[in-house]
């Protein structure tokens, strides 16, 4: 046994967060379809900061103050907002250097839930490898918080969490004790050869297919098209300084 191994565990839903949070320094918030994929895309492509807010009312208030604001509920752009949580929208060159307010059905709520943790970073399949490498370097206990769907378990966030568990356990610096972590890793290993196909029955993919969002889904399910680690600082999500140094 490695006595110095630290914990990496998976929490399936923000509603379960209170039961898991005590032992962890770092919380990774995951909402693969599509909030955290969009945040990674935006920060990687030069958006200065993304301000996550839980309610539409908060987003509207900041919009009135002059912020660019994005809002999504149930997969659709909320009326009166510039865009929703499509990663392609966040890659628009006109957003470079800007601060963008974002409110979504699940992901920004999950960030809100995790906000008091020592460190909150944003995870997706897109930044899987870069994030896992950084987490291993930190060597601190990690809680992976799946945003789920309206506080229920979902498959795509579980697969992403399982992928991070798998990478961290392989470093031998981490251990998992919760059954949720064992299950997430198992589901990821079963799905990893073709995540798109594995998810074809999932409830949220069906929802997005009805909304003609298959291009977004393909983008969000592509591992490692992004090296960025977004981190929550004073209520806004910004690029982790560590990454900037590493890239210089």
Q: Contact residues for a second copy (CB under 8 A)?
A: 12-13, 15-16, 19-20, 149-155, 158, 177-180, 182-183, 186-187, 190, 201-204
Minimum CB–partner distance for residue 247 and a second copy (Å): 36
Minimum CB–partner distance for residue 204 and a second copy (Å): 7
- C-beta of 12 vs 134, nearer to a second copy: 12
- C-beta of 145 vs 232, nearer to a second copy: 145
Minimum CB–partner distance for residue 15 and a second copy (Å): 7
Q: How far apart (Å, rounded) are the C-alpha atoms in residues 121 and 144?
A: 10
- C-beta of 8 vs 229, nearer to a second copy: 8
Pair type for strands 174-175 and 230-233: unpaired
Q: How far is CA 145 from CA 31, 132, 140, 216, in A?
A: 9, 14, 16, 22
Q: What is the dihedral of CA 186, 188, 191, 197, to 10 degrees?
A: 140
DSSP calls for 202-219: -HHHHHHHHTT-HHHHHH
- C-beta of 20 vs 134, nearer to a second copy: 20
Minimum CB–partner distance for residue 149 and a second copy (Å): 7
- Helix orientation angle between 203-210 and 155-170, rounded to the nearest 10 degrees: 130
- C-beta of 14 vs 230, nearer to a second copy: 14
Q: How far apart (Å, rounded) are the C-alpha atoms in residues 190 and 198?
A: 8
């Amino acid at each position: 046994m490695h006595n110095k191994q630290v914990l990496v565990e998976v929490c399936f839903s923000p509603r379960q967060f209170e039961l898991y949070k005590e032992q962890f320094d770092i919380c990774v918030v995951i909402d693969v379809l599509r909030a955290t994929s969009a945040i990674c895309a935006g920060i990687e492509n030069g958006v200065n900061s993304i301000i996550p807010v839980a309610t539409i009312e908060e987003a509207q208030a900041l919009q009135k103050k002059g912020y660019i604001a994005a809002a999504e509920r149930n997969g659709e752009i909320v009326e009166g907002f510039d865009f929703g949580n499509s990663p392609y929208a966040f890659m628009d060159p006109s957003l470079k250097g800007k601060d963008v307010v974002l409110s979504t059905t699940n992901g920004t709520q999950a960030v809100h839930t995790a906000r008091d943790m020592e460190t909150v970073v944003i995870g997706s399949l897109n930044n899987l490898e870069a994030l896992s490498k950084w987490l291993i370097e930190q060597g601190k206990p990690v809680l992976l918080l799946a945003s789920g769907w309206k506080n229920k378990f979902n498959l795509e966030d579980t697969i992403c969490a399982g992928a991070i568990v798998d990478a961290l356990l392989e470093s031998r610096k981490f251990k998992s004790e919760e059954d949720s972590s064992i299950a997430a890793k198992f589901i990821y290993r079963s799905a990893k050869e073709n995540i798109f196909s594995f998810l074809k029955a999932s409830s949220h993919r069906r929802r997005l297919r009805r909304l003609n969002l298959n291009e977004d889904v393909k983008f969000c399910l592509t591992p490692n098209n992004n090296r960025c680690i977004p981190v929550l600082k004073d209520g806004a999500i910004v690029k982790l300084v560590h990454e900037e140094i590493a890239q210089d």
